[in-house]
Structure 1
Amino acid sequence: MNSSIQQPSWDSQLKQAVQLRQESQLESSLQLLLKLANDFPDEGIVQYQCAWAHDAIGKEISAVPYYVRALSLALTEEDRRGAYLGLGSTYRAIGEYEKSKALLEEAINHFPDAREFKVFYALTLYNLGQHEESTSILLRQLVETTQNADITPYNRALLFYADHLNEVWTNEE
Structure 2
Amino acid sequence: MKELEIAVALRKEGKLKESNEILVTLANDYPDNSVINYQCAWSFDVLSLEKEAVPYYEKAILIGLPEMELQGAILGLGSSYRTLGKYQKSKEVFEKGLAKFTDDRAMKVFYAMTLYNLNEHSKAMEILLTNLAQTSSDENIKIYKKAIEFYSDKLDEIL
TM bucket (normalised to shorter chain) is over 0.9
Question: Aligned equivalents of 2:89 and 2:142: distance in 1?
Answer: 35
Unaligned runs of 5+ in 1: 1-10
Identity %: 45
2:55 is matched with 65
Amino acid aligned to 1:160: F
2:105 is matched with 115
Q: Post-superposition, which runs of at least 4 consecutive aligned residues in structure 1 deviate over 6 A? A: none
Among 71, 91, 115, which residue is 1:81 paired with?
Answer: 71
- 1:163 and 2:153 equivalent? yes
Unaligned runs of 5+ in 2: none
Among 113, 119, 132, which residue is 2:122 paired with?
Answer: 132
Question: Aligned equivalents of 2:6 and 2:39: distance in 1?
Answer: 11
Among 30, 48, 54, which residue is 2:44 paired with?
Answer: 54
TM score, norm. by length of structure 1:
0.90
- 1:16 and 2:6 equivalent? yes
1:4 is matched with none
Q: How many residues align?
A: 159
Higher share in helix = 2
TM score, norm. by length of structure 2:
0.97
Cα root mean square deviation, aligned:
0.8
- 1:141 and 2:157 equivalent? no
Question: Aligned equivalents of 2:62 and 2:100: distance in 1?
Answer: 14
Query: Relative to structure 2, which stretch is displaced further, 151-160 or 93-102?
Result: 151-160
Alignment check: 8 A CA contact 1:85 1:117 kept: yes
The superposition leaves residues 36-56 of structure 1 with CA deviations (integer Å, 9 ceiling, x where unpaired) of 000101100000000000011
Q: Which structure is larger by alpha-carbon Rg, 1 or 2?
A: 1
Amino acid aligned to 2:63: L
- Secondary structure of the structure 2 residue equivalent to 1:42: coil
Shift in Å, 1:74: 2.7
